[in-house]
Amino acid sequence: MPTDTNSTTPDVRPVAGHIGAEIHGVDLAGDLDETVIARIRAAVLRWKVVFFRGQRLDHAGHVALARRFGEPVVLPRRGKASPPDFPEIETTADRLELGGRFGMEHDEWLRRRRHTLLRGWHCDHGARVDPPAATILRAETVPPYGGDTTWANLAAAYAGLSAPVRAFADGLRAEHRLGVGYQPRSGDDAYARHLLDHQTASEHPLVRVHPETGERVLFVNGYYVEQISGLSRPESAAVLQMLLEQATRPEYTVRFRWEPGSVAFWDNRATIHLAPGDTAHLGHPRTMHRVMLAGDVPAGVDGRPSLPLTGTAPGRW
């Protein structure tokens, strides 16, 4: 269980070689002093995702915690499972509402979105011109097995590329678009129509400079990236496949086993993550609560910022 005081130095214990650390000795529902806040912030920047176990956060405590590290995002649309009195919190259940809203069972919706091994990897809201800086995810109910989340360190992945490939990637930009690669149903598909009616797209640098650490980050993911600007479709597909395989190499990843009361806090600017796809058949609930922190507009190695293409503007959700 959490300790009764937050005046001592948190115990940061790395769990994988390049990414992930568990933090012990902190009660996130308590009064965190500035030393503890600074220690947690430094751990997030160093290890990209940090984990806390046995926490007793409620919705109010979750939002209050997020405000210690930034400005929580207020989403204009949330599912019915999300708490109405806390607009900063988005709640996901074991069978996400989105598929059912468009006439599909969740497993079919998931298959149509993740039809390749790399398609599920993403940062949160990566099609926006200003993706969230960080996410704080809290587990309320989890199945007895399954339901793990995996994160990858995009700064380590970039550093692991050969020097010629790093130099090549440094000068590229790519289009990130909501719903890229979704395989529609035959005939009418309500979700495909929804994607067309709510398009969000931005052009981001393929390598962004982290605004706090100065690290170069391989800014790719399998869910939003559609096309590398200036390359042909075959060239773009080949380069993206190579870079995604690099980003998700096992040595750059960490996998977390959730328990009720677990909290994960990750840097959305320097990671991609893979939500679980192994729980739909288990018959056990998985209820998670998410708060995201507002982020900035990415900038590339050359200093050029990301550009909004459609459906997005800095600071407007």
Answer for the pair 87, 186: CB distance below 8 angstroms, yes or no.
no
Q: Mapping DSSP to helix (H, G, I), strand (E, B) and coil, where does residue 95 land? A: coil
Phi-psi group of 11: left, alpha or beta (phi > 0 → left; psi -120 to 50 → alpha; rest → beta): beta
Q: How many CA atoms lie within 13 A of 90 on its CB side?
A: 19
Token pair of 223, please? 């869910």
Show which residues are catalytic.
122, 124, 273, 290
Helix (H) or strand (E) run with residue 263 in it: strand 263-267
DSSP letter for each residue of 131-165:
--SEEEEEEEE--SS---EEEEEHHHHHHTS-HHH
Contact 90, 173 (CB under 8 A): no
